[in-house]
Amino acid sequence: MREYLIKRVLVSTVLIWIIITINFILFRMLPGDPIRLLFFDPRITAETQKKLASNFGLDKPLYIQYFIYLINLVKGDWGTSFLYREPVLEIITKRLFNTVLLLFPAMLLAVIIGSLLGVIAAWKRGTKIDVLILSLVLLFWSTPAFWLGMVLIIALMGILPISGMTTAGIEYSSIFDQARDIVSHMALPLISESVVLIGEYALIMRGTLSDVLTEDYITTARSKGFGDFYILRKHAVPNAMLPMITLIAMNFGLIVGGAIQVETVFSWPGVGRLMYDSIMVRDYPILQGTFLVVAVSVILANFMADIFYAYFDPRVKLK
């Protein structure tokens, strides 16, 4: 177990370093001058532009910028945002809470409902119930989240808030009023994000469980007289959950990256919206910081999935 963990940690560390390097190079290959995008006043002279580039460290060769970035990253200095003029880490931390507040409930809802629909469809495979559920989840999975969000805005405008996280200018009498306002603003983006994920989880669960139900040990359990619910709970679903572990872990790892489409449509102040705004103005420090957080989260989620696999599946050898 110890050797297995050390190996996974080393692999994850190398992957993080590779991602940091790719992100650093990739964003600097984008067309456009960030100084011109940030300070587009035509009265700014070329000399002033050079001074601004020097202040942000953009006048140095790329390899020097790269080593400075690595050193500062290790020290916890992720740079200063070109657009907000604030430390990157502080900005991302503020937005990260908003993103997790929205996407964590959406993920939990999608996992529970999607897995349940997948189990029912697999157990009733070939029946009208299976066809109905399969048609429904295929529709969910093929629906773009941003399109669904716009449809919900048109359909429920005036009934539920359609933008932002809170009502502008309102003074709350208690923390419960504030929570109620936030929940009402969360409703539409939460539905938009969870519906698509429900289809994904349901399809994976149905396909995996359908294969498990054809195994010999399921037939043996039936021949022993065990009930359907017992077979599903004790034999079928635990084995079918193994592929779901990876999918759930990866999606939970992506939570911190936000849902760019949904957050943009509903103007939700999360990491996804932050990434979108930063791309528009070539805010390299913000982009590097957000992509680093997302990459590390996904790698850690995969690491945890490997550990869960090794724990739940005896066929996985800890070498």
Residue-level pLDDT at 254:
64
Residue-level pLDDT at 74:
81
Based on the structure, what is the number of domains in the chain? Answer: 1
Residue 29 lies in a domain: no
Residue 15 lies in a domain: no
Residue 218 lies in a domain: yes
Q: Are 190 and 106 in contact (CB under 8 A)?
A: yes
Mean pLDDT on 99-111 = 87
One-letter-per-residue 3-state SS of the chain: CHHHHHHHHHHHHHHHHHHHHHHHHHHHCCCCCHHHHHCCCCCCCHHHHHHHHHHCCCCCCHHHHHHHHHHHHHHCCCCECCCCCCEHHHHHHHHHHHHHHHHHHHHHHHHHHHHHHHHHHHHCCCCHHHHHHHHHHHHHHHCCHHHHHHHHHHHHECCECCCCCCCCCCCCCCHHHHHHHHHHHHHHHHHHHHHHHHHHHHHHHHHHHHHHCCCHHHHHHHHCCCCHHHHHHHHHHHHHHHHHHHHHHHHHHHHHHCCHHHHHHCCCCCHHHHHHHHHHHCCHHHHHHHHHHHHHHHHHHHHHHHHHHHHHCCCCCCC
Per-residue pLDDT tens over the stretch 154-171: 888 878 888 888 887 777
Residue 157 lies in a domain: yes
For residue 132, which of 117, 113, 143 has the smallest C-alpha distance? 117
Domain that holds residue 158: 93-281
Contacts of 205 (CB under 8 A, 6+ apart): 114, 115, 117, 118, 119, 122, 240, 244
Contacts of 204 (CB under 8 A, 6+ apart): 118, 243, 244, 247
Q: In angstroms, how far is CA 212 from the centroid of its own chain?
A: 29
Residue 22 lies in a domain: no
pLDDT of 14 over the 60 cut? yes
Residue 269 lies in a domain: yes
Q: Are 208 and 232 in contact (CB under 8 A)?
A: no
Residue 19 lies in a domain: no
CATH number for the domain harbouring residue 141? 1.10.3720.10
Residue-level pLDDT at 176:
86
Verdict on whether the full-model pTM lies above 0.85: no
Percent of the chain with pLDDT over 70: 85
Per-residue pLDDT tens over the stretch 24-73: 777 667 666 666 655 655 666 667 767 766 766 666 777 787 888 788 88
Residue-level pLDDT at 319:
47
Residue 135 lies in a domain: yes
